[in-house]
Amino acid sequence: MTERDRRQRFDDLYALYDKRILAYCIYVLGDRDLANDVYQEVFVKAYQSLHTIRKSVKEVNWLFRIARNECLNTLKARQRNDRRSMRIDDAEHLLVTRDGVVEQNEAEHLHRALEQLPIVYRDAILLAEFEGFSLKEIAEITGVSLSNVKVRIHRSKRKLHQIREPIL
């Protein structure tokens, strides 16, 4: 792959997925500034290793796997045990009702519920429900079996329901 081809491929990937990767990083990390740093690192690593991607792998899955690994590495490095919170206005563009209207109170409750999930469950539910990945794609991104993905999503939905039940 020539340098020109590599740059064009990277520009295409960036144009298609930059907002989704940033939103994912914000949700996983819960800190917009930290997410911006990780987001930039994701695209630096993607550019550096673009030549290694196999043709059999979907580029979006490959990119989300880099994002996921960077987010998890950041969480481990900072050894945060405290719950992180993201400003609700940052999440509003992701949480839309059927009418296209976001109820701020509902967005806040959902975000707080998501923060209470263990990272592996939060990760699975975000990839499935907010990013629209198939179960097979989530397995590829997270590096776990398809059955494990199904279990994580089921448990995260059950846990979210338990957390939100008093609110509803």
Instruction: Return the SS3 of 61.
Output: helix
The whole-angstrom separation of Cα 5 and Cα 14 is 14
The pLDDT, as a whole number, for residue 164 is: 74
* Amino acid (1-letter code) at residue 63: L
Instruction: Judge whether residue 91 has pLDDT over 80.
Output: no
Confidence category of residue 87, pLDDT binned at 50, 70, 90: very low
Instruction: Judge whether residue 120 has pLDDT over 80.
Output: yes
The pLDDT, as a whole number, for residue 30 is: 85
The whole-angstrom separation of Cα 55 and Cα 59 is 9
Task: Write down the pTM of the prediction.
Answer: 0.64
Q: What residues have CB less than 8 Å from 51, skipping those under 6 apart? A: 1, 6
The pLDDT, as a whole number, for residue 77 is: 78
Instruction: Judge whether residue 89 has pLDDT over 70.
Output: no
The mean-pLDDT minimum among 72-76, 82-86, 91-95, 151-155 falls in: 82-86
Question: What is the arithmetic mean of pLDDT over 158-167?
Answer: 78
The pLDDT, as a whole number, for residue 14 is: 95
The pLDDT, as a whole number, for residue 82 is: 41
Per-residue pLDDT tens over the stretch 33-81 = 999 999 999 999 999 998 888 776 788 999 999 999 999 888 887 753 4
* Number of other residues whose CB lies within 10 A of the CB of residue 143: 10
The pLDDT, as a whole number, for residue 144 is: 93
Question: What is the arithmetic mean of pLDDT over 9-32?
Answer: 92
Q: CA-based angle 74:143:132, to the nearest 5?
A: 85
